[in-house]
């Protein structure tokens, strides 16, 4: 199972959408795009994970 | 005993030469640590010794001595285990892992090289015993080394595919190599770095056999690992965005490789990919079978 299998996990959600409910996964609300990018960078470095853009104002941090 | 001294000595020398020759060939797979060299040379010496004494043992009717060859084979299986374990142990410390298929292939190569030493020693001592001619025995040894290493030579990617430079582009946050979607890169600065500093190549399989081989995950990981170890890779543990990747175009069987290298030189990248060995465990030959041949058209 070294090379294949489901090991991805969403570690955090960073969003501009304040109606995004928090459930199960930590959600970080950002007030603008700059803050969102900054939180995403910090979290990805802290968690050694990757930032993915869902292109609806929401980023997710995923461990691969 | 002294009458066999020359036979055994020539056998051992040729066997060790065979092992040494294969160590030299090994520039990429071998970490080239002095300890590693010593380990493999010593084991090669033992292998050569076993091969060299087989003929004198047979002649002096010591048939039990020959059964030691069987024992030797058992021992050399351990070498495979040893290589596999040590490579697996350092796998976590590699920025770009080799992948288990590549490790298995390297381990197999190390085992087979000891058999090469045994066989070379055996042939050259046999010739010396029969002909009593040292130059002839040495020539036999050299011929054995050449023939055996040709037999065990693996194909390279350039034999099964055409490699050419490819374009990196972004569809919003989706990183693509031409028409192959590779991954979603969310962080805008990472996208900029990949666009500016990244390199991509396209590997186009020459036939359906090559296509099946290239679709193996292990083979693709080996390509990525070799490219990254030869060109360097601009990432540390936390920079997941710059992990080099090889992704398949399911429609055509082409493989797009993307890497953010230390040395941004497309020619070297193509050369590195060309020289990646085709892994034994990934090699597929659907065209050799009836069903595969039928499915081709």
Last residue of a domain, one of B151, B175, B191: B151
In this prediction, residue B68 carries a pLDDT of 78
What contacts 24+ positions apart, CB below 8 Å, involve B101-104? B101/A3, B101/B216, B101/B217, B101/B218, B101/B219, B101/B221, B101/B222, B101/B279, B101/B281, B101/B282, B102/B218, B102/B221, B102/B222, B102/B225, B102/B279, B104/B279, B104/B281
The boundaries of the domain holding residue B28 are 2-151
Cα–Cα distances (Å) from B142 to A62, B102, B115, B176, in that order, read 55, 29, 15, 50
Inter-chain CB proximity B238 and A44 less than 8 Å: yes
Q: Are residues B135 and B60 in the same domain?
A: yes
Answer yes or no: do B174 and B191 share one domain. Answer: yes
Domain count, chain B: 2
Tell whether B289 and B180 lie within a shared domain: yes
Higher pLDDT, B3 or B278: B278
What mean pLDDT comes out for the span B263-289? 90
Show which of B91, B123, B151 is a domain's final residue.
B151
pLDDT of B162 strictly over 90: yes
- For residues B131 and B170, state if they share a domain: no
**Interchain CB distance below 8 Å, B217 and A59:** no
CB pairs under 8 A between A and B: 51
Quote the CA–CA distance of B251 and B244 in Å, as a whole number: 22
B142 shares a domain with B195: no
The single residue listed with the structure tokens 């679709």 is B215
Question: Is B277 or A21 the better-scoring residue by pLDDT?
Answer: B277
State percent of chain B over pLDDT 70.
96
Residue of B nearest to A36 (CA): B187
Question: Is B9 in the same domain as B103?
Answer: yes
At B215 the pLDDT is 92
B187 CB neighbours in chain A (<8 A) are 37, 40-41, 44, 51, 53
Q: Are residues B127 and B190 in the same domain?
A: no
Q: What is the per-residue pLDDT for A1?
A: 38
Residues of B in contact with A53 (CB under 8 A): 172-173, 184-187
Mean pLDDT, residues B30-45 taken together: 79
Name the domain boundary from B151, B181, B203: B151
* B147 and B204 both lie in a single domain: no
Q: Which pLDDT tens digit goes with each residue over A17-38? A: 888 887 788 999 999 999 999 9
> B1-36, pLDDT tens digit by residue?
567 888 899 999 999 999 888 886 554 555 566 777
B242, B274: one domain: yes
Chain B nearest CA to A62, separation (Å): 10
Give the per-residue pLDDT at B79.
83
Q: Chain A: give the shortest CA distance to residue B90, in Å.
A: 14
B9 and B89 assigned to the same domain:
yes
The per-residue pLDDT for range B51-97, each reduced to its tens digit, is 888 888 888 888 887 787 788 788 888 888 988 998 899 888 888 88
Domains of chain A, by residue range, sit at 9-63
Q: Which of B174, B240, B260 to mutate to test the interface with A (most CBs of A within 10 A)?
A: B240
pLDDT at residue B36, as a whole number: 78
Does the interface ipTM go beyond 0.90? no
pLDDT tens digits, one per residue of B221-248: 999 999 998 898 888 887 888 999 999 9
Which B positions 62-121 lie with beta carbon below 8 A of chain A? 97, 99-101
Task: Give the closest-approach CA distance of A29 to chain B in angstroms.
Answer: 16
B163 and B136 both lie in a single domain:
no
């Amino acid at each position: 199972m070294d090379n294949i299998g489901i090991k991805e996990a969403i570690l955090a959600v960073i969003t501009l959408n304040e109606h995004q409910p928090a459930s199960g996964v930590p959600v970080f609300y950002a007030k603008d795009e700059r803050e969102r990018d900054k939180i995403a960078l910090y979290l990805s470095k802290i968690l050694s994970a990757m930032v993915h853009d869902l292109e609806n104002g929401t980023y997710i941090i995923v461990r691969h | 005993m002294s009458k066999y001294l020359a036979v055994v000595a020539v056998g051992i020398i040729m066997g060790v030469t065979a092992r040494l020759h294969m160590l030299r060939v090994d520039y990429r797979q071998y970490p080239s640590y002095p300890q590693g060299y010593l380990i493999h040379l010593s084991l090669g010496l033992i292998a050569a010794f076993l091969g060299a004494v087989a003929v004198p043992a047979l002649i002096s009717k010591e048939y039990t001595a020959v059964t030691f060859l069987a024992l030797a084979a058992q021992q050399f299986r351990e070498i495979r285990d040893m290589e596999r374990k040590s490579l697996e142990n350092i796998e976590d410390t590699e920025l770009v892992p080799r992948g288990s298929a590549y490790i298995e292939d390297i381990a197999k190569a190390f085992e087979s090289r000891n058999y090469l030493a045994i066989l070379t020693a055996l042939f050259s001592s046999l010739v010396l015993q029969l002909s009593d001619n040292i130059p002839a025995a040495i020539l036999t040894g050299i011929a054995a080394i050449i023939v055996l290493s040709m037999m065990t030579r693996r194909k390279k990617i350039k034999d099964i595919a055409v490699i050419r430079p490819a374009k990196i582009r972004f569809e919003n946050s989706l990183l693509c190599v031409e028409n192959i979607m590779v991954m979603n890169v969310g962080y805008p600065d990472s996208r900029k770095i990949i666009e500016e500093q990244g390199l991509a190549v396209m590997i186009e399989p020459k036939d359906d056999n090559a296509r099946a081989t290239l679709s193996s995950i292990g083979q693709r990981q080996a390509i990525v690992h070799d490219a990254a170890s030869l060109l360097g890779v601009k990432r540390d543990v936390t920079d997941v965005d710059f992990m080099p990747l090889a992704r398949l175009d399911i429609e055509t069987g082409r493989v797009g490789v993307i890497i953010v290298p230390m040395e941004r030189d497309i020619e070297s990248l193509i050369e590195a990919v060309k020289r990646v060995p085709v892994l034994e465990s990934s090699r597929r030959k659907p065209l050799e079978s009836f069903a595969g041949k039928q499915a081709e058209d």
